[in-house]
Amino acid sequence: MAKKSMIQREKRRKKMVNAKADMREELRKASVDIHRSAEERFAARQELAKLPRNSAAIRLRNRCAVSGRPRGYMRFFGLSRIAFRDLALKGELPGIRKGSL
């Protein structure tokens, strides 16, 4: 099980990413638009740099929905390999069964 503080930190990051996504996207488009002047693009870059670092989507880390484990994550299920195996063996994942039967 991951530390509770790490799970909470990730939740705060996800919340901030969702809150600032529109502004970040708008500034990003303005900073690479070749039809704008160099000063406008530079100003957009500076505004983008002023945003909190945790508002960037790249800072998010995929974590298991059950245990919060960051490694061995299966995106399709939203689980780590360990939680996936436990749930699959209990028969709690529909359509999943052991391969070597």
pLDDT > 90 fraction of the chain, expressed in percent and rounded: 90
For the chain, the domains span 1-61, 62-101
| Cα gap 84→78, rounded to integer Å | 9
The confidence score (pLDDT) of residue 1 equals 81
Instruction: Give the pLDDT of residue 98.
Output: 82
Give the pLDDT score at 97.
Answer: 84
- 27 versus 1: which is more confidently predicted? 27
Q: Of 3.10.20.30, 4.10.830.10, 3.40.50.2000, 3.40.50.970, which CATH number belongs to 62-101?
A: 4.10.830.10
Helices 4-32 and 38-50: angle between axes, nearest 10 degrees: 170
d(CA 93, CA 47): 46
Class of domain 1-61: mainly alpha
Per-residue pLDDT band at 101 (split at 50, 70, 90):
low
pLDDT per position as a tens digit, 36-71: 999 999 999 999 999 999 999 999 999 999 999 999
pLDDT at position 99 is 81
The Cα-based distances of 77 to 81, 82, 83, 98 in angstroms read 10, 12, 10, 16
Joined together, the tokens standing for residue 76 give 């399709």
Q: For residue 84, which of 7, 10, 76 has the smallest C-alpha distance?
A: 76
